[in-house]
């Protein structure tokens, strides 16, 4: 039970959720709900792992993961944007499709050892007491990428012209269309961006945070947790990042409860009977539900909600498709 270790681990596992959740923020801000995050992550994890294994180059692995997630997401784009299918059902089928593809193509990858994303210290910053060891020491390169990515994503969405177009397409697509913004084009673009980031999140697992290919256990529901996090984050990348890191740290901290023989001077029941560990394993899922309840209530109180056109297909006038 060491706070430094828990926070350090929280940042690493939080990075997985961060990429996936911010990717989903982009897609949902554009008005497309994509519930296929779990499937895209799993496909990304598999593609990254196997490419890194076959080429011996981890950067090609990351690239493959990003492309795999992106391409899979386009299936969702086509069906929901052009065919105006229900976004919920399409997202679910994307999860099935991604999971199935990953399992079929990932046959025989278990137990292999591809090159992984390197870990490094940030010179100078790592010397700061407490902050250095937690934030800037022995982290995967992807964790540092995450630090830089969060403010960039936030700035892009809220303070740039393309970001304004992105939000317009999700809030009032007809008005955006009138102003000459391509609603379909942007929706495709941000669904694709979301897919790329989900793929990267998958590779963050398989090539960095908990390396390896363990079929469906590789992601074990983190894609769904990321979707839940977006609601908690009220479609804001900063809140999503905060939630992701907190979630990672809490998850690690709770698992660490099993370690010591005594807690607060009493015998630790978790240490004596490891079967209570099943309840500890429930905590991420219980936390997600609690976070959702909090997020939903806040949203209701502040009248902050989902992008107004989230989940609705855009049909221009009488032209139909």
Partner 1 sequence: MKLPFTILFEKRMEDVPKWLPAATSIGSVLIAFLISGIILKLIGGQPLRVAGFFFDATFGSWAAISDTLVKATPLIMVGLACTVAFKMKLWNIGAEGQFYIGAFAASLVVLIPMVPLDSPRIVIIGLMIIMGMIGGAVWGFIPGLLKGKFGVNEIITTLMLNYIAILWNNFWIFNKWSDAGFQMTPPFEKNAWLPRLADYAREFRAFSGITLHLGVVIALVATVVVWWVLERSRWGYEIKLTGDNKEAARYAGINIVRNVILVMMFSGALAGLAGMSEISGVVHRLQERISPGYGFTGIIVAWLAKLNPFAVVLVSILFGALIVAGREIQPSGLAQLLQGIILFMVISSDVLLRYKIRIIRLQSPAAGEVEVA
- List all residues 6 or more positions away from 11 whose beta carbon is below 8 Å from its beta carbon: 134, 135, 139, 143, 245, 248, 249
Q: Which of 125, 131, 286, 304 binds partner 1 (CB under 8 A)?
A: 286
Strands 139-140 and 119-120, sheet pairing: antiparallel
Determine, following the binding rule CB under 8 A, whether residue 173 of this chain makes contact with partner 1.
no
Determine, following the binding rule CB under 8 A, whether residue 83 of this chain makes contact with partner 1.
yes
Question: What's the closest the beta carbon of residue 206 comes to partner 1, in angstroms?
Answer: 16
Question: What is the spatial distance between Cα 97 and Cα 46, in angstroms, rounded to a whole number?
Answer: 14
Q: Which is nearer to partner 1, 160 or 217 (CB)?
A: 217
Question: What is the spatial distance between Cα 21 and Cα 194, in angstroms, rounded to a whole number?
Answer: 9
Determine, following the binding rule CB under 8 A, whether residue 111 of this chain makes contact with partner 1.
no
Determine, following the binding rule CB under 8 A, whether residue 99 of this chain makes contact with partner 1.
yes
Determine, following the binding rule CB under 8 A, whether residue 112 of this chain makes contact with partner 1.
no
Is residue 123 classed exposed, middle or buried when 0-12, 13-18 and 19+ CB atoms within 10 A define those classes?
exposed
| Segment near partner 1 (CB under 8 A); pick from 100-108, 126-134, 135-143, 186-194 | 100-108
First-last CA distance in the chain = 58
Site for partner 1 in 238-277 (CB under 8 A): 273, 275-276
Q: Which is nearer to partner 1, 9 or 227 (CB)?
A: 227
Helices 222-232 and 3-29, axial angle in degrees (round to 10): 70
Q: Which is nearer to partner 1, 105 or 127 (CB)?
A: 105
Strands 262-263 and 119-120, sheet pairing: unpaired
Question: What is the spatial distance between Cα 119 and Cα 86, in angstroms, rounded to a whole number?
Answer: 42
Determine, following the binding rule CB under 8 A, whether residue 94 of this chain makes contact with partner 1.
yes
| Segment near partner 1 (CB under 8 A); pick from 14-22, 133-141, 226-234, 240-248 | 226-234
Binding residues for partner 1, per CB under 8 A?
A: 35, 39, 75, 78-79, 83-86, 88-90, 92-107, 215, 221, 224-225, 227-228, 231, 273, 275-276, 278-279, 281-282, 285-286, 288-289, 292-293, 296-297, 300, 318, 320-321
């Amino acid at each position: 039970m060491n706070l430094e270790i828990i926070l350090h681990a929280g940042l690493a596992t939080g990075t997985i959720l961060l990429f996936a959740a911010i990717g989903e923020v982009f897609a949902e801000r554009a008005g497309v709900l994509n519930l296929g995050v779990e499937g895209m992550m799993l496909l990304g994890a598999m593609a990254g792992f196997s490419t890194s294994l076959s080429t011996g180059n981890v950067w090609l692995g990351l690239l493959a993961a990003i492309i795999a997630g992106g391409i899979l997401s386009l299936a969702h784009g086509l069906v929901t944007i052009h065919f105006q299918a229900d976004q919920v059902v399409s997202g679910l089928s994307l999860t099935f499709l991604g999971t199935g593809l990953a399992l079929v193509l990932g046959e025989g990858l278990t137990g292999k050892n591809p090159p992984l994303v390197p870990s490094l210290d940030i010179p100078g910053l790592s010397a700061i007491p407490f902050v250095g060891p937690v934030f800037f020491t022995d982290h995967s390169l992807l964790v540092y990428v995450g630090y830089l990515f969060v403010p960039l994503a936030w700035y892009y969405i809220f303070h740039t012209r393309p970001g304004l177009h992105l939000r317009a397409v999700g809030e009032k697509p007809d008005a955006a269309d009138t102003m000459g913004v391509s609603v379909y084009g942007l929706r495709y673009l941000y669904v694709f961006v979301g897919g790329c980031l989900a793929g990267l999140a998958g590779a963050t697992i398989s090539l960095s945070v908990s390396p390896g290919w363990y079929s469906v256990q590789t992601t074990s529901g983190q894609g769904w947790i990321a979707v839940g996090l977006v609601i908690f984050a009220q479609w804001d990348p900063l809140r999503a990042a905060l939630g992701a890191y907190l979630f990672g740290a809490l998850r690690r901290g709770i698992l660490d409860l099993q370690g010591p023989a005594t807690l607060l001077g009493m015998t630790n029941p978790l240490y004596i009977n490891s079967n209570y560990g099943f309840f500890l394993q429930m905590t991420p899922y219980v936390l997600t539900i609690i976070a959702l309840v909090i997020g939903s209530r806040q949203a209701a109180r502040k009248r902050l909600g989902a992008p107004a056109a989230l989940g609705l297909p855009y049909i221009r006038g009488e032209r139909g498709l």
